[in-house]
Amino acid sequence: EAGVAQSPRYKIIEKRQSVAFWCNPISGHATLYWYQQILGQGPKLLIQFQNNGVVDDSQLPKDRFSAERLKGVDSTLKIQPAKLEDSAVYLCASSLSPGQQETQYFGPGTRLLVL
Amino acid sequence: AQSVAQPEDQVNVAEGNPLTVKCTYSVSGNPYLFWYVQYPNRGLQFLLKYITGDNLVKGSYGFEAEFNKSQTSFHLKKPSALVSDSALYFCAVRDSYNTDKLIFGTGTRLQVFP
């Protein structure tokens, strides 16, 4: 079974530029998550989708971050404009369905460096 | 507020010795606890989870974790460490309010020496 796919793996941009990350979840997984992992910290949830609807985006800085999952499968996370503090690893995860007992499976992440 | 604490930034152990990586939690309601491992330049890999039932949970790669409700702990253990176990380990708990959201600890770096 293929895992969660993410691209690109690495990205270097200058502040105020824009960047987009792509995620393809495990086939059949209805729930998709984007996490931000700053160096030295644990991942923090940015946004959760159930199919193509947003379940939780309370921690997403909406003035600069946006995300979509138009067809309920793959997803794109965008930052515009980027700030220095956005330097982090952006992890995508998916689970078969929502619920406390479900396991979230993570992709390899996209490492972003903002200069 | 829900939280997870991993009190040790780094744990060093000799190959072949038992290892323990500590985790304590604070949640309202029943805890749903997870351990993940992160190798360099890779995402998080699921190791094991506690939902209910037996307090000793067995997971991947020979790891196990012991749930202790009175001490609000969920320590990760392995009877005999391998050099290849060297990685960053994260404990996480499900958010009681958003049942899908995982709240992670800050991670513990495990270094196994040959």
Tokens encoding A63: 């003035």
As a whole number of angstroms, the distance between CA B48 and CA A30 comes to 21
Give me the percent of chain A exceeding a pLDDT of 70: 98
- The minimum CA-CA distance between B91 and chain A, rounded to whole Å, is 9
Average of per-residue pLDDT across A74-93: 97
Note the pLDDT of residue A105.
Answer: 94
As a whole number of angstroms, the distance between CA A95 and CA B92 comes to 16
B71: amino acid identity, one letter: Q
Residues of A in contact with B45 (CB under 8 A): 106
3-state secondary structure of B12: strand
Give the list of residues 6+ apart from residue A83 with CB closer than 8 angstroms, or none: A15, A64, A114
Give the list of residues 6+ apart from residue A38 with CB closer than 8 angstroms, or none: A44, A87, A88
Tokens encoding B99: 């049942």
As a whole number of angstroms, the distance between CA B24 and CA B105 comes to 9
- Smallest Cβ–Cβ distance between A101 and the set B43, B51, B101 belongs to B51
- Interface contact flag, A106 B90, Cβ < 8 Å: no
Least confident of A26-35, B15-24, B68-77, B99-108: B99-108
Q: What is the mean pLDDT of chain A?
A: 94
The closest alpha carbon to B92, from A35, A3, A2, A57, belongs to A35
A29–chain B Cβ distance below 8 A for any pair: no
By residue count, chain A amounts to 115
- Interface contact flag, A99 B34, Cβ < 8 Å: no
Model confidence at A1: pLDDT above 70: no
Strand partners, B108: B89
Q: A45, A104 in Cβ contact below 8 A? A: no
Interface test with A, best of B52, B97, B100 (most A CBs within 10 A): B100
Model confidence at B46: pLDDT above 80: yes
- In angstroms, what CA-CA distances link A104 with A12, A114, B104, B112? 28, 28, 13, 27
Give me the percent of chain B exceeding a pLDDT of 70: 97
Note the pLDDT of residue B53.
Answer: 86
- The minimum CA-CA distance between A113 and chain B, rounded to whole Å, is 14
Note the pLDDT of residue A98.
Answer: 80
A115: amino acid identity, one letter: L
Name the more confident of B80 and B31: B80
A53–chain B Cβ distance below 8 A for any pair: no
- Smallest Cβ–Cβ distance between A105 and the set B46, B101, B104 belongs to B46
